[in-house]
Amino acid sequence: SVGRIPYLVPVKWEDGWPVLGVDGKVPETLNLPASKGYMPGIVTSDEFTRKKTDAALPLAWQWNHNPDHRFWSVKQRPGFLRLTTGRVDTSILMARNTLTQRTFGPESSASTFLDLSNLKDGDHAGLLLLQKNYGWVGVKAEGGARYLVMVNASGGKPEEVSRIPLTQKGIYLKADCDFRNRTDKAYFYYSLDGKDWQPIGSVLQMSYTLPHFM
């Protein structure tokens, strides 16, 4: 479910021809030094703190759809990504300004902090593992109240499996992915201080599906 995995493969030249791998096989690990030159390495910061000469978003990020640039900014509040509601969608898969990055095998983890100060009724904000049968943890604003929720769609339809009333103006969210030996499971957490993490919801059974190409 991690999708097509890019590999770095050592190459040497023999008699004018490139020979890939080590003894005809791709090694499981490579000892690569961190880049200190003008070309950045394959690992880059995904923080939203930007210098004046930096691109608005580093290449670690990509939009799930063509973004509507009227409704996002990293300049209005330096150090933060600001997303504002541009339209109402019927499905999280249709949400236009969904900022994403690739997961990595065999294991990877992502965490973020949400400032909920200006969340309005009908707004949803959170951390999503994006696939056809997705899962997400985040906050829903409904009826003048806010709720921390976990939604699991691994059964084919989205199901809200956890709902906790929320009064805080900010919340930390985290997702852990386990792709080892095609385990393809994900776990969601929340924290009020960014240190003490609590599990929420159910295990997401991730899957590779052709209708939602990854």
Give the tens place of pLDDT for each residue, 138-180: 999 999 999 999 999 999 999 999 999 999 999 999 999 999 9
End-to-end CA distance of the chain: 8
Q: pTM for this structure?
A: 0.86
Distance CA 191, CA 199 (A): 9
Mean pLDDT value across the chain: 91
In this predicted model, what pLDDT tens digit does every residue of 96-133 receive, in sequence order?
Answer: 999 999 898 889 999 999 999 999 999 999 999 999 99
- Measured torsion, CA atoms of residues 21, 23, 25, 30, in degrees rounded to the nearest 10: -50
Contacts of 103 (CB under 8 A, 6+ apart): 2, 3, 110, 129, 177, 179
